[in-house]
Each structure stands twice: as C-alpha cells, then as structure tokens.
Structure 1
Amino acid sequence: MSDAFRELLRKVGSGPHTGKNLNRSEAAAATRMMLLQEATPAQIGAFMIAHRIKRPTGEELAGMLDAYAELGPQLQPIGSEQAVLVLSSPYDGRSRTAPISPLTALIVAAAGYPVIMHGGDRMPTKQGLPLVEVWQGLGIDWTRLTLEQVQQVLATTQLGFVYLPQHFPQAHGLVPYRDQIGKRPPFATLELLWGPYAGSANIVSGFVHPPTEVMLQDAFQLRGFPAYFTTVKGLEGSCDLPRDRTAIIGLGQGGADFFLERLLLAPRDYDFAGIDVPLEETTQLIAEMQAVLQGDGSELGRSAIWNGGFYLWRCGACADLATGLTQAEALLTQGQAAAQLQKVQQAIAGLASDLQDHAFTG
C-alpha cells in the first residue's frame, strides 16, 4: 500500500463536508502513482469513484495532464508552420451516431494541415465503436506501429494516431478499473484534454455537459498549453459537429494571452441542416465512408463537408466558414481526400516492407 497515495485519497474521498480538492502538484502525484501502479488496486478504484463523485476541478485536471506529459508518449514537432490539429474523442466510442472525425482528418490532411488522433480499443463502460476500428475498416491499422513509425507517417502524410495499448501502456493499464467501478472516472475527461504532441497544437475537446467545458478551459489556462484549443458540444461528447441543432463551440487561445470566444454555429445558416447519421453495423459505416470519399452526396457526406469545412477554417486554411465548406466539398468530390487515405495506406505498407527487408538482410 502507498501511504502517500492514501493521504491523497483521504483528501478527495472524505465527503462533501470535510473533503477537499487536490492542488495541481497533488493531482499530478496521484496520477503518477496510479499510472505506475504504485497505488494498490483497491486505492486506485476508490480514488476513481471518489473523484467522480466529488467531480474534478480544472486545477486537478491540469495536474493530471502534467503527469501524462511526464510519463506519456509525445510525437515530436514535424516542422509544420501550422499548429497540429488534435481531434480528441471519448475513448469509450460511439453507439448512436456515425463518427465523422476520420473523414474530417482526411479532408484536413489533404489540404496540407497535420492532424493527430488518439484512443484505444473498445472500452468500458459504453463499449462503443472506437476510432481505431474505423481506421482499420478503411485499410489503416495503427495498432501495429511503434511511436517512431507513427512519427514517420505523420511527417510524410500529415496524419498520425497514438494508440493507447501500444504507445501508452501505463494509461491502458487503468482501463479495467472503468469496468470494475461501472462508471467513467475523471480520466475520461482528461483524455479529451490530452495532446500527445510536443509542438504547437490546437486541441479539440468534445463535451456533453456545460460544467465539463468550464473545467477544460480552466485546465488549459493553468497549463498555458496548447497554443490554441477548441471546445465542441459534439455528437456523443466527440468533436463531431452536429447538423440537427446549433453547435456550441469555444474558440480559444492558450498561453499568456489566454482568451475564449463563444461561437453558436447553426447548420441551417449554411444550408447544412439535416440528420445526424445513425450508427448501424460497422461494415455498413465503412461502406458509406468509402462512398463519401468517392464524392457521394449522402447525409454522411454532408456531415463530412460540414465538419471538414469548419476545421479547415479553424486551422486557418481559409478566411471564412463558407469558403471552408466549398474547399471541403472539393477535396472530397475531386478525390484529394481519397488520395490522402491511399497515401497513408502506402506509407504504412512501406514501413512494413522496410522492416521485412531489414530482417532479411540482417
């Protein structure tokens, strides 16, 4: 048992009258001890459920991010003039609506703006469809790559994916606790803030409940990182903009000149109002995505343009949203997004070929 961890657990788990919030360094220490399994399983489970009941603060999340930055993987700067767009989504996946972000990432990368995503396998408690399975369906398997190989793919194709079991096993080691406690712990919020990139980044964090957005903003302000951030009341807490309602968005800048601008984005104002495509079988979703990449004008294609156009504008690829939407549509209908997918497939295949050649010659 860790006596140091017990004191931190006692602080957050003493109830509404005597319990206290952790300061930033205490939150970092608690997270570090959990990641390194220095705390016992009983202590880790108790901390997670107590912290969920108490609710994390922005300062605590900032400290937890400090521990992630210390122990977790980081892709290195690739020399891009643009801030890398980090599209964060809940790790426990999707169950009701079709994910859009893989298509968004291909559109943005095809325009020359780098994108990083991160996540793991199917995860409690939701056990929804994870993005890594969507990428596998599209012919890209991130699960077999080392972090160094992901770095190479990012540098050559403007697209990368940090896969939790392979690249951050300490964090992956905490996943079983989600099932055992039966609830999302505050780590599920932390993952929406995490940006596994050492250079200038624009981290996009989805949220469902307004208090979560406030915690995100507080954590970003305290850490002074990233350079830019975007908060989105998105589909199932993801960074996917809805089309059946007005999107509530925060456009933020980190660092000393921290600020946040509120944007209420109504799809009907741009003739993009419509349904948010329901999630059916994975094979059907992949077939629909492949059709979108061939210029199909389906509802899923419209959602891809809506999201791609917004994020192109947010990245600075165009002066206004209307231009971004036009550009996103052109990247789909003219085949650049599909070509981007093929480029990533070829880059990964080339890495596998190089490894085989090295093993043969060795």
Structure 2
Amino acid sequence: MSQAFRSLLQKVGSGSHTSKDLSRAEAAIATCMMLEQEATPAQLGAFMIAHRIKRPTPEELAGMLDAYDQLGPKLTAIESAYPVTVFSVPYDGRSRTLPISPLTALMLAAVKAPVVLHGGDRMPTKYGLPLIEIWQGLGVNWQQLSLAQAQQMLAETGLSFVYLPRHFPQAQAMVPYRDQIGKRPPFATIEIMWSPYAGNTHLVSGFVHPPTEERTVASLALRKRPFFTTVKGLEGSCDLARSRTAIIGLGQINGMFDRLLLSPRDYGFSTEDPPLLEEADAIAALQSVIDGKPSEVAQSAIWNGGFYLWRCGVSHTLEAGFTLAEKLVLQGQLQQKLAEVQEAIAAQVLVTS
C-alpha cells in the first residue's frame, strides 16, 4: 500500500463532517500517483468515489489539470491567425442527440481556424457514441496516428485528434475503475476542461449542471486560461441546442467573463435538435451535410458553425457567422476539407508502413 497516497485519501474520504480539501499541489500529486498507478487498486477506487461524493474544488481541479499537463500528451504550437480551438466534450459519448461537433470542426478548419479534439472509445458510465467512431464512419481513422503524426495533421490540415488509448495510456488505464465504481469520477470533470495543445488556445467546455460551469470558470482562472467558452450543450457537449435558448459563458482575454443567451428563433432557426439515429444512419446524416444537402442536421451545423465562426474571430458578427456557415455547407467546403484530411491521414499511414 502506498502510505503517501493513503494520507491524501484520508483527507478526502473522512466523511461529510471531517473530510478536507486538498491543496492544488496535493491534488496534482494524488493525480500523478493514480495515473502512474503508484496507488493500489483499492486506493484508486476509494479515492475516485470519495472525491466524487465530496465534490472537487476549483483548486483541486486545477491541480489535477497540472498533473495532466505533466504526464499527458501535448501538441506543440503551430502558426495560425486564430487561437487553436480545443473542443472538450464528455468522453462517455452521446445517447440521445446527434453530435454536430465533427461538422463544426470541419467548418472551422476550412477557414483556417484550427481545431483539436480529444477523447477515447466507448466509455462508462453511458457508453454512448463517441467522436472517434463518428470520424471513423466518415473515413477518418485518427486511432492509427502517433502523436507526432497527429501533430503533423494539425500543421497540415488545421485539424487533429488526441486519442486517449494511444496518446495517453495512463489516463486510459483509469477507465476500468470508472466502470467498476459506476459513477463519473473527477477525471470526467477535468476532461471537459483539459487542453492537450501547448500554444495559444481557445478552450470550449461543455456542461450540464451550473455548478460544473462555476468550477470550470474558477479552475481556468487559477490556471490563467482567460480565453474560453462554456456551453450548456446537448448532453453536456459543446453543441449548441436548437430546442432551447443556448446558455453560453465567454471567458475573455482581458480576464472578464460575460454571459450570452442565444435563442434560435431570433436568428430564423427552427427549434428542433436532430435525434441520435442508429450509428450507420447517424453517419449518413452527417455525410449528407458534408455533401451540401439541406436538412435539419444542416440547420444545426449552421447554427453551431455560425456561432463558433464568430467566437473564434473569423466573422465579426453572429449574423455574418451564420451566413458564412451556410455558404461553407452549400458550396462544398466541408466536403473539400474532409477529403483533404482523409488524404493527409492516408499519406501519414503510408509513410509509417
């Protein structure tokens, strides 16, 4: 048994009246010890569930993110006119609504606003449809790339994916514990505010419950990450809903935090979120948008794409963002970008083989 870890476990696991918060440094140490499995399996499971019950503080989350920076993968900075947008979405996937972020990523990359995504395979507790499978269905196999190749993809195409099982095996090793405790541990919280990119970043973090957003904002402030966006998105993702007013937080470079409420009706959009279909049908629905065909899914792509084109600085107004997003879809720019990404990955794999 790790005696050093035992003392940290005792602090968070002593019950509602006597448990204590960890300092940022202690949280970083505890996370490193878990990721490197210096703690025993019993200690790992106990810490995860105790920390969930206690609820992590912003200081603890900042420390956990420090550990991810220390041990995890990092794509190095590239030359870009815009900060690299990092979409941080729940790793346990989608079970009710169709993911739109692959279309948003293609749209941003098509206008040279780079995007980094990250995630893994189907993961507890939901085991929903993950981004990696959607991309695979679209003919983009991020799983086979080394981190160096993922770096090259970002530099060449403005789009890349950090794949947990291959690029961050220490974090992937925590997945069985997540399954066995049957609840989302704090690891699931830091994933929605983690950036595996070392350069100038625009972090986008999805959330469901307001306290999660509050902790995200406070944690990013402690880590001096002022430029970020929080989205009360579909199933906690970064996808803006059309069925309700979008609740968005705007972390500004000057350190200010603004609230933005967007009603789809105000911009001429219908209020319907495309439901999640069987996987083959879901891929076909996304592909139809990439092919430039009008649909309800295309409307969600324009709604999301227009907002992010504005937020990333490509468009000066929201209205201009929606106009540009529609143009990119109808004129086949998403199709061209997807083909470029497919060809670049094929070239990377050919070099390796």
TM-score by length of 1: 0.96
Q: Amino acid of the residue matched to residue 12 of structure 1? A: V
Q: Amino acid of the residue matched to residue 16 of structure 1? A: S
1:272 paired residue number:
269
Q: Residue 17 of structure 2: SS of its match in structure 1?
A: helix
Give how far 1:178 is off: 0.9
Say whether 1:348 aligns with 2:345: yes
TM-score by length of 2: 0.99
Distance in 1, Cα, partners of 2:252 & 2:52: 28
Distance in 1, Cα, partners of 2:62 & 2:162: 21
Q: Residue 16 of structure 2: SS of its match in structure 1?
A: helix
Distance in 1, Cα, partners of 2:14 & 2:110: 51
1:333 paired residue number:
330
| Equivalent pair of 1:92/1:124 in contact (CA under 8 Å) | yes
| Equivalent pair of 1:13/1:50 in contact (CA under 8 Å) | yes
Distance in 1, Cα, partners of 2:224 & 2:245: 29
2:248 paired residue number:
249
Distance in 2, Cα, partners of 1:253 & 1:90: 23
Distance in 2, Cα, partners of 1:109 & 1:79: 13
- In structure 1, the gaps of 5 or more residues are 357-362
Distance in 2, Cα, partners of 1:81 & 1:101: 21
1:77 paired residue number:
77
| Equivalent pair of 1:274/1:299 in contact (CA under 8 Å) | no
Say whether 1:48 aligns with 2:48: yes
RMSD: 0.8
Q: Residue 305 of structure 1: SS of its match in structure 2?
A: helix
1:308 paired residue number:
305
1:183 paired residue number:
183
Distance in 1, Cα, partners of 2:306 & 2:153: 24
2:286 paired residue number:
289
2:206 paired residue number:
206
- Which moves more between the two structures, 42-51 or 346-355? 346-355
2:101 paired residue number:
101
Distance in 2, Cα, partners of 1:329 & 1:132: 25
| Equivalent pair of 1:13/1:51 in contact (CA under 8 Å) | yes
1:115 paired residue number:
115
Matched pairs, number: 353
The alignment-based identity, stated in percent, is 65
Give how far 1:21 is off: 0.8
- In structure 2, the gaps of 5 or more residues are none
| Equivalent pair of 1:143/1:166 in contact (CA under 8 Å) | yes
2:90 paired residue number:
90
Give how far 1:273 is off: 2.9
| Equivalent pair of 2:81/2:113 in contact (CA under 8 Å) | no
| Equivalent pair of 1:8/1:26 in contact (CA under 8 Å) | yes
1:234 paired residue number:
233
| Equivalent pair of 1:306/1:325 in contact (CA under 8 Å) | yes
Q: Residue 91 of structure 2: SS of its match in structure 1?
A: coil
Deviations, residues 267-312 of structure 1 (Å, cap 9, x unaligned): 1100113211110101001111111112221111100000000000
1:19 paired residue number:
19
Give how far 1:228 is off: 1.0
Give how far 1:253 is off: 2.7
Distance in 2, Cα, partners of 1:271 & 1:22: 48
Deviations, residues 38-62 of structure 1 (Å, cap 9, x unaligned): 0000000000000000111111100
Q: Amino acid of the residue matched to residue 339 of structure 2? A: Q
